[in-house]
Amino acid sequence: MTRRSRAREVALQVLFQSEANPDRDPGELDGFLVRRLVTAPLVLMARQLVRGVQQHAPQIDARIEKTSAHWRLFRMAATDRAVLRIGAYELLHTDTPPRVVVDEAVMLAKRFGNDSSAAFVNGILGTILNENKEALEAALTPTPLTESLQEPDASET
């Protein structure tokens, strides 16, 4: 397991714990993270993942639910939910290569989920990735200059 994989794993554990016990002291969870990772760059990465997921939770959860046909978020296994949230956050809000994000999420799902978790996570994150690529390509597709300079028809005014 790479060091960055380890940071993702600890971020997953913190998100899982905070969802299972929302009244738990955030400082206690941060202490868990520091004890498990020790080195500053990995602690920073795990904190970024946890805080990023928490800050963007409504958007991330809506995207996961939209993508996971017939599966409401609350019905998903808690570990799958946490893995998907980390993966979606990384796909949508970081510059981590998408293939790395999906591969890492699938590995976490295999390690912490059930027999079908890896395929489930791969399918949902793959769909989010494809939708995101299409939206990005559409946003980056330039409008030909001649179209943008055409005068509106008299019937359109």
CATH superfamily ID and name for 3-139: NusB-like (1.10.940.10)
Residue 122 to residue 81: CA distance in whole angstroms: 13
Dihedral of alpha carbons 28, 33, 37, 38, sign: negative
Given a contact cutoff of 8 angstroms between Cβ atoms, the answer to whether 117 and 157 are in contact is: no
Given a contact cutoff of 8 angstroms between Cβ atoms, the answer to whether 128 and 92 are in contact is: yes
Predicted confidence (pLDDT) per residue in 90-141, tens digit: 999 999 999 999 999 999 999 999 999 999 999 999 999 998 776 666 655 5
- Going from N- to C-terminal start, the domains of the chain cover 3-139
What's the mean pLDDT in 78-84?
96
Cα–Cα distances in Å, from 49 out to 41, 99, 142?
A: 12, 17, 33
pTM of the complete model: 0.83
